[in-house]
Copies of this chain bind each other. A is one copy, B any other.
Amino acid sequence: MAGSSRRAGGRRLQLPLLCLLLQGATAILFAVFVRYNHETDAALWHWGNHSNPDNEFYFRYPSFQDVHTMIFVGFGFLMAFLQRYGFSSVGFTFLLAAFALQWSTLVQGFLHTFHGGHIHIGVESMINADFCAGAVLISFGAILGKTGPAQLLLMALLEVVLFGLNEFVLLSLLGVKDAGGSMTIHTFGAYFGLVLSRVLYRPQLEKSKHRQSSVYHSDLFAMIGTIFLWIFWPSFNSAPTPLGDGQHRTALNTYYSLTASTLSTFALSALVGRDGRLDMPILESKFKIQDTCGVHNLHGMPGVLGALLGVLVAGLATHDSYGEGLESVFPLIAEGQRSSTSQALHQLFGLFVTLIFASVGGGLGGLLLRLPFLDSPPDSQCYEDQIYWEVPEEHADLAQGSLRPEEPDTQA
C-alpha cells in the first residue's frame, strides 16, 4: 500500500510536469522559429498580388480535415475496443497526437522549410504533422494498455525526431517517392512500436488477459474508428500529392483498392473463423491479439509490401505511360537524372533505411521507457482505465472487484 501511494504521488506530478515542460518548450520554440509562409502571411500573400481563390488552402484543406478526422476519431475509437480501456484509448490518442502535431511541425520544419532562420508553415505543414502523428499512433497501438501517459509522451518525443530524420533521408537525400506513406508512416510506425514493445516485454501479462477482451458496445465504438479510417483513406493518400491529376488519381486508386480489399478480407475472415463466423473485419480485430503482431499485420507487412510495389512501379515507369505527368510522379527520371532501374534501387534502399531507423529507434525508445522512475502500470492494472481516469462508479466497482488483493505486483 505504501508503494502504491508513493507511486500515485509520483504519477500525480509526473504527467502534469512533463506536459507543462513539453508545452512550454514547444511554445518557446514556436515563438522563436515559426513564421507564416507566403500563403498564410497577410503581408506576403497580398504583396505577391495573388488571387485569393488560388490560395493553397482551398486545394488542401478539405483533405486535411479528413486526415485530421482519421487521426483523432479514427485511431482514437479504433483502439477503444478494450472493454475497460476506452477512456485511455481515446484520451491518450488525443494527448499524444496533440503533442506530436506541434513537435513534428518543429522537427519537419527544421528539416524541410527552414530558411532565413525561420520555419515557414501553412496547410501543408498541418497535413505533414498529422501524418507524423499517425505514425506515433501506430506505434501506440503496439503497446496499447501497457504504458502510462508520461511514458507515451516520451516515446512521442523520440519517435517524432526519428520520423523526421527518416523522412528527410528518404525524400530529400535519396529522392525516394513514398506513395501513401508506406515507408515513412506505416513501416516506420509499426516496426518502431514493435521493437519498443519487445523491449518492454512483460512475462506476467496474462494476468490482465481478461481485460483484453472487448464487450459488445466497445466493439461498436471501435467500428466507428474503423469506418472513419476506411472512408477517409483516399484523402490520406491524396492529401500531400501534387495538385491536379495526381491528387485525383491517388484518391481514385485508394478508393477502389479499399473496396477490393474489403471483399477479400471478408472472404478470409469467414474462411479462417470458427464455423465460418466473421470477426469484426478489416482493421480492428488484429489489435486484439495480445502480443503486438496486430500492428505487424496491419501496418508493418502492408507497409513493406507497399514499399516493394513502389520499387516495382518505379522500375517500370516510362515516358509513354505518364506523358508530361512523369515530371510530377518521378521527377528525377523525367529530368534524365536517373534511369527507372536506378530509381527502383533507390526505393529499395529507402525501405532498408526505414527499417533501420525504426528498429534502432524503437530499441532506444524501449530503453527510455524502462527508466525506473517512470510511472509504468503494474501488470495487474494493464488495460485498465481506472488507474489513470476518474471512471463512473458502477464501472469502477466492476474493475475494483477484479483487482484481487492477493495478486502480487510484479512491477513494484
A224 interface residue (CB < 8 Å to B): yes
A16-52 to B contact mask, C-beta < 8 Å, 1/0: 1101101100110010000010011111111100101
Query: Which B residues are CB-close (under 8 A) to A59?
Result: 53, 58
Query: Which B residues are CB-close (under 8 A) to A224?
Result: 73, 77, 224
Q: What's the Cα separation between A224 and B8 when bound, in Å?
A: 29
Query: Which B residues are CB-close (under 8 A) to A232?
Result: 65
The answer on a CB contact under 8 Å between B323 and A44 is: yes
The answer on a CB contact under 8 Å between B243 and A53 is: yes
The answer on a CB contact under 8 Å between A214 and B392 is: yes
A265-289 to B contact mask, C-beta < 8 Å, 1/0: 0111011011111111110000000
A349 interface residue (CB < 8 Å to B): no
The answer on a CB contact under 8 Å between B11 and A73 is: no
Q: What's the Cα separation between A216 and B356 when bound, in Å?
A: 42
Closest B residue to A280 using CB positions: B87
Most buried by B among A219, A235, A247, A281: A219
Q: How far is the CB of A28 from chain B (nearest CB, A)?
A: 12
Q: What's the Cα separation between A19 and B281 when bound, in Å?
A: 14
The answer on a CB contact under 8 Å between B73 and A277 is: no
The answer on a CB contact under 8 Å between A46 and B227 is: no
Closest B residue to A65 using CB positions: B66
Most buried by B among A26, A102, A273, A277: A277
Q: What's the Cα separation between A255 and B34 when bound, in Å?
A: 14
B-binding segment of A89-97, A164-172, A176-184, A298-306: A89-97
Q: Which of A225-248 contact B (CB under 8 A)?
A: 227-228, 230-232, 234-235, 242-248
Query: Which B residues are CB-close (under 8 A) to A190?
Result: none
A394 interface residue (CB < 8 Å to B): yes
Q: Given A52-B243, A62-B62, A232-B65: A40 and B90 within 8 A (CB)?
A: no
Point out the residue from B20, B27, B46, B392 that lies within 8 Å of A216, measured CB to CB. Answer: B392
Closest B residue to A279 using CB positions: B390
The answer on a CB contact under 8 Å between A251 and B12 is: no
A76 interface residue (CB < 8 Å to B): yes
Query: Which B residues are CB-close (under 8 A) to A76?
Result: 223, 227
Closest B residue to A133 using CB positions: B259
Q: What's the Cα separation between A323 and B47 when bound, in Å?
A: 8
A122 interface residue (CB < 8 Å to B): yes
The answer on a CB contact under 8 Å between B230 and A72 is: yes
B-binding segment of A139-147, A191-199, A325-333, A335-343: A325-333
The answer on a CB contact under 8 Å between A392 and B215 is: yes
Point out the residue from B65, B83, B227, B263 that lies within 8 Å of A99, measured CB to CB. Answer: B263
A388 interface residue (CB < 8 Å to B): yes
A53-65 to B contact mask, C-beta < 8 Å, 1/0: 1111111011101
The answer on a CB contact under 8 Å between A22 and B263 is: yes
The answer on a CB contact under 8 Å between A252 and B217 is: no
The answer on a CB contact under 8 Å between B65 and A231 is: yes
A395 interface residue (CB < 8 Å to B): yes
7 A-B pairs with least C-beta separation: A42-B325, A43-B323, A52-B244, A12-B276, A46-B324, A19-B267, A45-B245
Q: List 28 A-B contacts (CB under 8 A).
A: A9-B276, A11-B275, A12-B271, A12-B276, A15-B267, A15-B270, A16-B268, A17-B267, A20-B267, A39-B245, A41-B325, A42-B321, A42-B326, A44-B323, A46-B324, A53-B54, A55-B244, A61-B63, A61-B251, A65-B232, A77-B224, A83-B392, A98-B258, A98-B259, A98-B262, A99-B259, A121-B252, A123-B251
